[in-house]
Amino acid sequence: MKKGPVKIDKQDAVISIRGLYKSFDTVDVLMGMDLDLYKGENVVVLGRSGSGKSVLIKLIAGLLKPDKGTVKVTGEEVCQLNIKELEHLRLKIGFLYQDSALYDSMTVKENLEFPLVRNKRNLTRKEVDDEINKVLDNVGLSEVINQMPAELSGGQKKRIGIARTLILQPEIMLYDEPTAGLDPITCGDVIALINDVQQKYKTSSVIITHDLTCAKYTGDRIALIVDGKFRREGSFEEVFTTGDPEAKNFYDYNFIIDK
């Protein structure tokens, strides 16, 4: 499960967040966040349930608007884009939802075909089939091409969800709790796939999780949310080998398996 070396360009921030605030009614969720994601990097955002992790990536994708602050993706300020510009930006972003969000009435092949033909209308039938076969091979699930989502295991659904985001060859991946609800062996498979995607597709990723195993083995950098702000940031060891009681408490409430 050990993560291999990757090339990270710290002169090229593909996501840049400054002074980010977001509240819902009287509940303050994000309270002045700053974060950069560099080209080729996996950043893991850790935090307890309700800490604002999922809100953060919805703001990055333009699904929510901040109350204050800026979110720039590939140099463009997300909240200033019009609908057409935002749609174009989202083609650069692969969003893996926690529940994989597959269409239950479509086969695996149809789930993968749908975003491809919708966004690349000039492709031939052969080109579409070739892209589907390629991405299924890359996630190790070529054999399920004609199955329905209901026939897949939880781990297979996660993999197909990743495949559906990859079929448009995004520059940026946003993973929302990619190992949630999975057994330890399947978690290991998904972790390995996330790292494979980073290597093969040269993606830059924000990985939202409260799973320390996922964080340790996918993250080039870890950012820990406490009280709506990033409390600690750095390598896994830099974040958790510390006297900070908040980091220690988060670590102690999670179970991590070293391999």
What the chain holds in terms of domains, given with CATH numbers, is 12-92+172-183+204-259 (3.40.50.300)
Closest by CA to 190, choosing from 154, 155, 152, 163, is: 155
pLDDT digits (tens, 9 = 90+) for 96-132: 887 778 999 999 999 999 999 988 888 999 999 999 9
Low-confidence ranges of the chain (pLDDT < 70): 1, 255-259
Q: What is the pLDDT of residue 186?
A: 92
Q: How far apart are the first and last CA of the chain?
A: 7
Please, where are the H alpha helices in the chain? Answer: 53-60, 83-90, 108-119, 125-138, 154-166, 184-201, 212-218, 236-240, 245-252
Q: What is the pLDDT of residue 259?
A: 45
Residue 64: CB partners within 8 Å, gap ≥ 6?
22, 55, 58
